[in-house]
């Protein structure tokens, strides 16, 4: 029997704003320890208070007014102010606030479409999933800041592009792991590729040896993983000591394939959630940070995001 999470929102556009009715106000600075605690409590509450019933989604109009300053004009999704993404990661972390200790996989990582992912990804999609300026920002970050000459790289949840600018780096190895063979075959940045469904088995095992890579990156896909803690623990295993993981996220997604924990929260919670995956997966990650890579322009007193947002959460294997 299939089970889906009940999402409480006033419309599908407001699904990402659902968290505002479950948390206290987040101010534009979002730097106090109180705010960080509120964020932890929110993530715990969405895990503990979600309700499941067989194959049903209930939508209600009890959405409370949003607290963030700006909404995306295209989607209605709440957008963070300057600095909010960076301050979403607690400094320091408190082990007593691990939001996943009482987690129910059935609730928090259920999806509207629980069918076999091999069906969904059977046909190749040779398209970008964010707009052109976000693609350019992602390519610039990956090529100019994340990777270095001589690196061995794993592109996790890879497809037809890894957003590595051609001709700018001499990389030792670029392994791609994804869901569609035709997409991976078309990716000219890859030196090797493997098809593997990371959602197929909770006891996931990446097909690489210990300490194999200098960098593991995952682009616009973490929201589809139903076993993210297990996958991140495997990421730590295949990273070399001192190696870096970079998880790039936006708020554009295939709604039916994203997990309930993701669709029920906004961009600030998304960054905190990914940081929590890295902190609490048991993979011995440190120096967990989040950065807003979005393009912004001045609008009154605010510098607001224009186009599709882009964020990165990074950590280093100790």
- Structure tokens given for 103: 């987690």
pTM over 0.85: no
Q: What integer pLDDT is reported at residue 102 of this predicted model? A: 74
pLDDT digits (tens, 9 = 90+) for 97-154: 888 887 666 668 999 999 999 999 999 999 999 999 999 999 999 999 999 999 999 9
pLDDT digits (tens, 9 = 90+) for 201-256: 999 999 999 999 999 999 999 999 999 999 999 999 999 999 999 999 999 999 99
- Contact yes or no for 310/137 (Cβ under 8 A): yes
Q: What integer pLDDT is reported at residue 77 of this predicted model? A: 76
Rounded CA separation 282/301 (Å): 42
- Range from 76-80, 189-193, 216-220 carrying the lowest mean pLDDT: 76-80
Rounded CA separation 225/202 (Å): 10
- Side-chain-facing half-sphere of 298: CA atoms under 13 Å: 2
Q: Max Cα separation, the chain? A: 54
Q: What integer pLDDT is reported at residue 50 of this predicted model? A: 39
124 Cβ contact list (under 8 Å, min separation 6)? 160, 180, 182, 183, 186
pLDDT digits (tens, 9 = 90+) for 21-32: 333 333 333 334
Average pLDDT value for residue range 176-203? 97
Give the DSSP H or E segment for 216. strand 213-219
Cα 308 from chain centre: 15
Question: Sorting pLDDT into bands at 50, 70 and 90, what band is 40?
Answer: low
Average pLDDT value for residue range 53-60? 27
- Structure tokens given for 236: 């730590």
């Amino acid at each position: 029997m299939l089970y889906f999470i009940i999402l409480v929102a006033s419309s599908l556009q407001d699904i990402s704003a659902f968290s505002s009715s479950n948390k206290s106000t987040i101010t534009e600075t979002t730097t106090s320890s109180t705010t960080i605690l509120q964020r932890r409590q929110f993530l715990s509450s969405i895990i503990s208070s979600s309700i499941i019933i067989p194959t049903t989604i209930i939508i209600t109009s009890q959405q409370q007014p949003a607290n963030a300053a700006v909404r995306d004009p295209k989607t209605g999704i709440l957008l963070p102010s300057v600095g909010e993404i960076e301050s979403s990661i607690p400094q320091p972390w408190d082990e007593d606030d691990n939001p996943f200790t009482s987690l129910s996989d059935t609730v928090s990582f259920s999806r509207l479409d629980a069918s076999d992912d091999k069906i969904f990804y059977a046909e190749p999609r040779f398209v970008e999933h964010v707009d052109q300026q976000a693609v350019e920002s992602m390519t610039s970050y990956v090529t100019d800041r994340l990777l270095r000459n001589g690196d061995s790289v794993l592109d996790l949840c890879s497809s037809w592009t890894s957003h590595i600018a051609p001709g700018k780096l001499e990389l030792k190895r670029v392994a791609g792991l994804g869901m569609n063979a035709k997409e991976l075959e078309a990716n000219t940045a890859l030196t090797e590729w493997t098809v593997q469904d990371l959602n197929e088995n909770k006891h996931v095992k990446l097909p690489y040896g210990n300490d194999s890579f200098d960098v593991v990156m995952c682009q616009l896909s973490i929201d589809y993983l139903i076993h993210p803690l297990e996958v991140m623990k495997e990421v730590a295993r295949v990273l070399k000591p001192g190696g870096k993981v970079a998880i790039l996220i936006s708020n554009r997604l295939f709604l039916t394939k994203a997990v309930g924990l993701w669709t029920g929260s906004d961009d600030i919670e998304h960054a905190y959630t990914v940081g929590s995956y890295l902190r609490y997966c048991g993979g011995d990650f440190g120096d967990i940070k989040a950065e807003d890579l979005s393009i912004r322009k001045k609008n009154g007193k605010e510098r607001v995001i224009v186009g599709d947002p882009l964020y990165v959460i990074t950590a280093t294997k100790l």
